[in-house]
């Protein structure tokens, strides 16, 4: 079996569990840190000639991260595409187990730990309403029916954009401030929010800088995500929910 992954989360999952199968990944596949496979460009615009030259048996893709036109082109070339699209933690755990099983592996130790970690979660964070920007210029936030929103809900945080029809709304900065969240959650990816880039836009609201990999990736990071995110989100003084 020869696998090319166009999803950083799945690249890490396969490279950690069945490294001998992985023959290609995107330029944005940063984990494991020692990953050494041919690169095929970005998730949105992969180099399909380079990808197909790797002679994959299956290409791993995500409905949200990758383009349908690329999936159709890969299938037209006679290569199987495996699509993922988890919107909750439970769906992510189930899809990972099914994927690894279909690739010929059993349940790895990290996935067992992830199941246990999320099954044991009891919100340790004081209830808060939040907004979750994932991009700036223009502002884009995580909405409802997203993996990110479900992760935060399990930790005790209610996304104020859960009930929008768009999965990733594009409100103005004035709209974001007017939503009056108790907390602004700023992941370090896909946009690299930092202490000097992000909190400055919300001077009157507490901001939490968190690991984007643990908030948005579904892979081995799920095993550590509840503990790490809880730590990052509770470095703030208690505040009554609005």
Specify the CATH number for the domain of residue 29. Answer: 3.40.50.1980
Residue 11 · residue 30 · CB < 8 Å: no
Residues 149-174 have a mean pLDDT of: 94
Query: What's the pLDDT score for residue 84?
Result: 96
Count of domains for the chain:
2
Given a cut of 80, whether residue 182 has pLDDT beyond it is: yes
Q: Looking at the domain assignment, is residue 100 inside a domain?
A: no
If asked whether residues 149 and 203 sit together in one domain, one would say yes
Which ranges of 141-191 would DSSP assign to H, the alpha helix? 147-154, 173-178
pLDDT of residue 239: 47
Give the pLDDT confidence of 64-94 residue by residue, as tens digits: 999 999 999 999 999 999 999 999 999 999 9
Count, in order, helices (H) and strands (E) of the chain.
9, 10
pLDDT over 80 at 236, yes or no: no
Tell me which of 43, 66, 85 is where a domain ends. Answer: 85
Tokens standing for 21? 């199968």
On whether the CB atoms of residues 59 and 6 are closer than 8 A, the answer is yes
User: What is the rounded distance in angstroms from the CA atom of residue 120 to the CA atom of residue 154?
Assistant: 11
pTM value?
0.91
Is 90 exceeded by the pLDDT of residue 46? yes
pLDDT at residue 125 in the model: 72
pLDDT at 242 over 50: no
Domain that holds residue 44: 3-85
Q: Does residue 175 lie in a domain region?
A: yes
Element spanning 51, H or E: helix 48-53
In terms of average pLDDT, the best of 22-26, 124-128, 159-163 is 22-26
Please answer whether residues 147 and 87 qualify as being in contact, where contact means their C-beta atoms are separated by less than 8 angstroms: yes
């Amino acid at each position: 079996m020869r696998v090319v992954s166009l999803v950083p989360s799945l690249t890490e999952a396969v490279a950690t569990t069945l490294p001998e199968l992985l023959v290609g990944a995107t330029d944005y596949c940063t984990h494991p840190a020692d990953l050494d496979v041919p690169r095929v460009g970005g998730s949105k615009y992969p180099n399909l000639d380079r990808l197909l030259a790797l002679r994959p048996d299956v290409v791993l893709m995500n409905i949200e991260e990758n383009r349908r036109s690329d999936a159709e082109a890969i299938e037209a070339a006679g290569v199987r595409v495996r699509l993922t699209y988890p919107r909750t933690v439970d769906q992510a755990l189930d899809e990972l187990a099914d994927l690894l099983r279909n690739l010929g592996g059993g349940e790895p130790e990290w996935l067992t730990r992830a199941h246990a970690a999320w099954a044991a979660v009891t919100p340790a964070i004081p209830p808060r309403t939040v907004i979750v920007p994932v991009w700036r210029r223009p502002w884009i936030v995580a909405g409802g029916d997203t993996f990110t929103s479900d992760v935060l809900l399990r930790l005790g945080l209610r996304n104020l954009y859960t009930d929008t029809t768009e999965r990733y709304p594009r409100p103005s900065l004035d709209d974001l401030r007017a939503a009056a969240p108790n907390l602004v959650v700023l992941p370090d990816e896909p946009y690299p929010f930092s202490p000097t880039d992000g909190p400055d836009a919300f001077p009157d609201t507490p901001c939490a800088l968190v690991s984007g990999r643990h908030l948005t990736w579904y892979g081995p990071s799920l095993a550590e995500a509840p503990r790490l995110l809880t730590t990052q989100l509770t470095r703030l003084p208690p505040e009554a929910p609005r």
